[in-house]
Amino acid sequence: MQRFWGEIMTNRTILLQNGVGMPQLGLGTWQVPDAAAERSVEHALRFGYRHIDTAVAYENESGVGRGLKRSGVGRGEVFLTSKILAECKNYGETKRMIDCSLRALGTDYLDLMLIHAPRPWDEMGDDNGYRYEEENAAVWRALEEGYTAGKFRAIGVSNFEIDDLRSLMRRCSIPPMVDQVRAYAGEIPWELLEFCRTNRIAAEAYSPLATGGLLKRGELAAIAEKYGVGVPQLCIAYVMQLGMIAIPKAVSPAHIEENTELGFTISEDDMRALAAL
DSSP-derived pairing of the beta strands 13-15 and 21-23? antiparallel
* SS3 state of residue 199: coil
- The sign of the dihedral angle between the CA atoms of 162, 157, 36, 235 is positive
Q: Which residues are catalytic?
A: 58
**Between the CA of residue 130 and those of 122, 126, 142, what are the distances in Å?**
12, 8, 21
SS3 (DSSP) at 104: helix
Q: Give buried/exposed letters for 117-142 (b at 16+ CB in 10 A, else e).
A: bbbbeeeeeeeeeeebeebbbbbbbb
Rounded to a whole number of angstroms, the CA Rg of the chain reads: 18
β-strand pairing of 13-15 with 9-10:
antiparallel
Q: Is 166 exposed, middle or buried (0-12, 13-18, 19+ CB in 10 A)?
A: middle
Contact indicator for 14, 225 with CB cutoff of 8 Å: no
